[in-house]
């Protein structure tokens, strides 16, 4: 069962585990949205179909926070927040390379390969390319294993954006089997750790935090806890 951090008549905030689809795809595998529909149906004894609207996604291997609307009004308002950059999604990642600057911005043009599903960085002007921008801050580095813990804030929301941009910058995410390397059985070291939004009906600003899972994050436990504690106080 997925961990539900918040719920009311309009909104669900759920912690998606790694390797679970956010929404269904051609594989037909179980997805978060279907699991939450079943959760609502059983908990509230709802007859017939349950409406839930997913306004943003996490890549299948990535765990973390997802906002799900329980009404069409909430879905429309949350989607507008996303378009207006009023919904803030902050990610924690462990990347290869400990020699990072204190902070920086990555801006690339990304193109999806429909045949493979992979995304790559291309030159501006290439057909189908979309601009992608993110901001990052180094929270800690570990020269012993040549990794660093970074905070990533999205300005755009492209497919595989964080993974592709960090890899293209020379700092692929630890355990990213698609755009880097890793060992089977360990989750990718990327986590949707902080989600800030305005409640669709109460109009209250709300911040939710989620502690990353996985071996790579365990090495940075103290730094992760300190950062999440700081953000949790902003609720």
Just list the catalytic residues. Answer: 59
C-alpha 160: how far from chain center: 10
How many angstroms separate the CA atoms of 225 and 207, rounded?
16
- Tell me how far apart the alpha carbons of residues 32 and 174 are, in angstroms, rounded to a whole number: 24
Number of H helices, E strands in the chain: 5, 11
Residue from 141, 216, 226, 231 nearest 176 by CA: 216
Extract the tokens encoding 150. Answer: 């970074």
Closest CA to 3 of 66, 84, 51: 66
The residues facing 172 across adjacent strands are none
Residue from 109, 91, 92, 96 nearest 170 by CA: 96
Rounded distance between C-alpha atoms, residue 179 and residue 120, angstroms: 9
Report in angstroms the alpha-carbon separations of 96 from 41, 141, 172, 211.
Answer: 43, 10, 6, 20
């Amino acid at each position: 069962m997925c961990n539900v951090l918040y719920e009311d008549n309009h909104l669900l905030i759920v912690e998606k585990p790694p390797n679970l689809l956010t929404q269904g795809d051609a594989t037909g595998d179980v997805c978060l949205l279907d699991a939450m529909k079943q959760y609502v149906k059983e908990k509230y004894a709802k007859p017939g179909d349950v409406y839930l609207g997913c306004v943003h996604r996490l890549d299948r291997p990535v765990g973390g926070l997802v906002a799900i609307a329980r009404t069409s009004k909430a879905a429309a308002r949350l989607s507008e927040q996303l378009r207006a950059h009023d919904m803030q999604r902050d990610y924690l990642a462990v990347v290869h390379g400990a020699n990072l600057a204190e902070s920086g911005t990555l801006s690339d043009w990304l193109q999806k390969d429909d045949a493979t599903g992979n995304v790559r960085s291309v030159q501006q002007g290439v057909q189908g390319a979309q601009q992608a921008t993110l901001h990052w801050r180094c929270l800690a580095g570990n020269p012993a294993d040549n990794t660093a813990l970074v905070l990533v804030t999205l300005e755009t929301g492209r497919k595989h954006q964080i993974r592709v941009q960090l890899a293209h910058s020379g700092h692929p995410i630890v355990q990213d089997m698609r755009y880097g390397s890793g060992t089977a059985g360990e989750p990718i070291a990327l986590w949707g750790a902080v989600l800030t939004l305005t409640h669709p009906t109460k109009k209250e600003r709300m911040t939710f935090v989620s502690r990353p899972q996985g071996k790579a994050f365990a090495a940075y436990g103290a730094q992760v806890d300190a950062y999440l504690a700081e953000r949790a106080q902003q609720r």
